[in-house]
A and B are shown apart, each in its own frame.
Chain A
């Protein structure tokens, strides 16, 4: 049992020592926190929350709440849409120090206040209402989205705090959607130097505690996380701390592993890859999964994140390092062919942001800034510009011109490490501390803008760009139910067969979406009202010809 005076001395000593490297303000905050802690009335059997709560795997109807206590106890999450009435709860009676509770049955796009505790009492709450869950919008919803992007943040020093504080100021001062952070996207190396549990506490939980209580955190594995995390066993601090969807719980395709996974948020599809431990081979499990996943999405935007950068000349070199080259050569052709819009990487401790690219998989010196139709690697009239409305013009995607993606290496949320910073594919290369914010919002013309800003530790926005997509969520055209030989009226549920006057209808056969014959008729008008909705192939046989048509029964 440590006496209070000894504890206070220890804390003072720690704070004093810390203040030699940290700012006075931080030292004062630490000291106040310590004094408050010491003055708290203590119960001999009191239970303290040592970590969290923090939010994981958010979906439109559920979220995972995790926290750690110093003593094993039950897990209770009380929640409700009114702060004054947290009338619902999820309870797990198993005694544990590592609490993980899935709150389900929620409404999409809805704010729920919550607190955590055990069966006896509340252990952590926010009386000011700063602990809440905002459930994800239903997939496909077109609305404002803001994501905070942090690469290589985990230094646990003032650099990291300053970068954090700059974002907090930014979001609190935002003229629209003030204070709203829909998600945090970590690009790996979240806790230096080896991603241990203690390092995660210092560089992750202690730093972003406030945000973790109201915003879902997602991450990919960095090489420093990988030193203690074992992807082969999915064990170690990284895998213990995070809970990611493995069975497409948040949309996308079931990967069966937390090493790589995907999720939907509003009309954005996020694909998270493991560029460190998992095989990056074409035809490997992660490649096959990625291809299936990206070819299955119907979302308007596709964003991918993984640790090792496609292009960098910072503290790493994408011309010489195998993981970087393999991700570029193996994954990017396939992902670009399927419409990826934004690629977020870390690893190099700098900020490097590309032009609007397509088809550049070689070394830096093979980059050609010409437009792709002229044999180059940039897309559209503005593709080789800075992507700024008041500069060279924003980057543009339409339903007809679907190529073009911006690659960002943003690994300076905790430290900067220099490098040549002269990759030819980059529009901007900065050896500056900072994090990024991605904002997707209506352009007022039926499309959307995706804007990414680089927010320095000194609160300045040193770079930004915008990708505009026109005609978002517009269907290509009304489904054709009429052809020369077939018409379908969904109002009366009738399919009418029209044959030439010199032909005689013999038979009509309907095949469902797995090619099974489900209906046949000899009549020219077929009642399909009771058939299951879906796509059918209709084979029309006359005395002279066989016609094959498709029809969607609605």
Chain B
């Protein structure tokens, strides 16, 4: 008993000395609870999750394993263990754990999404696509990040399947709104990567027409046009960029981002003029 008290006192002093926010304090409190109830698997699970939030993955996994050894058979433990293995890039063990979870609950979209991500890391692309398709079809509200991830997995499976990847982006735009920025940006990236020059230029034009401030888009378009050997078109875009900056409110003209953009325009003009 005295030993316990000494340990508790030490832990209290430690938290005072090395406290890194209330997560540390909550871990300490949970540690004290564990000292009082060393065979309670729930407490190890709870402390493991606190460690996980604190990005102490090794300690988190140790607590999860201990919790399991003490009889915790809750499926959520498997999900947490899978997450830890995934975060520590131990993808084989992550897959093993998530499969146990999905054997119990095969319709959980969160678990299914994690499975898709693990399979992607293991380069089991077809299985990953299948899992992600389930997520897409069953998720209540899809986020842009989900669409982007799904499109990337499709390309990883077949790097020529740009139609499939673009279809996913279009699906996302239908679901989330036609102007969803991150999806429109990804569409541009794909069009460029797949050499769809005219469509890529149209996509730049979409941004130019869509946004109030156009200077950054003019410059980005000019850079692309110059890269694909359309120096005259690049010159026009650069002129438009300069004009757009000149017509900004004074405060914007003096912002660091615009000062840097002016330098970039100048450099690109210099390079592009050599091609004219």
Contact = CB atoms under 8 A, between A and B. Distances in A.
A371 to B, nearest CB: 16
Interface stretch (B2-10, B72-80, B245-253): B245-253
B236 A233 contact: no
A349 B242 CA distance: 47
Contact of A232 (B146, B211, B252): B146
Interface centre among B19, B146, B214 (most CB of A within 10 A): B19
Contacts of B213: 295-298
Contacts of A296: 211-213
Interface string A500-538: 000000000001011100000000000000000001010
Given A285-B144, A339-B255, A476 B179 contact: no
A401 B254 CA distance: 7
B22 A552 contact: no
B27 interface: no
B143 interface: yes
Given A321-B21, A514-B205, A535-B243, A246 B140 contact: no
Contact of B181 (A255, A419, A514, A515): A255
A320 B244 CA distance: 42
Contacts of A239: 141
A349 B140 CA distance: 34
Interface residues on B, range: 35 or more
Contacts of A399: 249-251, 253-254
Contact of B145 (A253, A278, A338, A550): A278
A479 interface: yes
B62 interface: no
A480 to B, nearest CB: 7
A232 to B, nearest CB: 6
Nearest to A549: B239
A233 B108 CA distance: 11
A295 B257 contact: yes
B22 A315 contact: yes
A233 B250 contact: no
Given A230-B110, A471-B250, A513-B214, A535 B244 contact: yes
B233 interface: yes
A248 B179 contact: yes
Contact of B240 (A298, A401, A537): A537
Contacts of B23: 316, 321
A254 interface: yes
A312 B247 CA distance: 39
A289 interface: yes
Contact of B144 (A256, A337, A339, A398): A256
Interface centre among A253, A256, A469 (most CB of B within 10 A): A256
A110 interface: no
A382 interface: no
A243 interface: no
B205 A337 contact: no
B109 interface: yes
Contacts of B20: 316-317, 320-321
B209 interface: yes
Contacts of B182: 255-256, 285, 288-289
Given A234-B143, A285-B148, 18 more contacts: A230-B110, A232-B110, A247-B177, A254-B177, A255-B144, A255-B180, A257-B144, A288-B181, A289-B181, A289-B182, A296-B213, A338-B255, A339-B252, A400-B254, A402-B255, A475-B249, A513-B214, A550-B246
The 5 closest A-B pairs by CB, nearest first: A256-B180, A550-B243, A316-B21, A256-B176, A476-B250
Interface of B: 19-23, 53, 55, 109-110, 113, 139-141, 143-146, 148, 172, 176-177, 179-183, 185, 205, 208-209, 211-214, 216, 221, 233, 235-237, 239-240, 242-244, 246-257, 260
Interface of A: 223, 230-235, 239, 246-248, 253-257, 259, 278-279, 284-285, 288-289, 292-293, 295-298, 300, 315-317, 320-322, 334, 336-339, 348-349, 397-403, 417, 419, 469, 471, 473-477, 479-480, 511, 513-515, 535, 537, 539, 548-550, 552
21 contacts: A235-B141, A247-B180, A257-B143, A285-B148, A288-B185, A296-B212, A298-B212, A298-B252, A320-B20, A320-B21, A321-B20, A349-B22, A399-B253, A402-B254, A402-B255, A479-B246, A513-B209, A515-B236, A515-B240, A537-B243, A548-B236
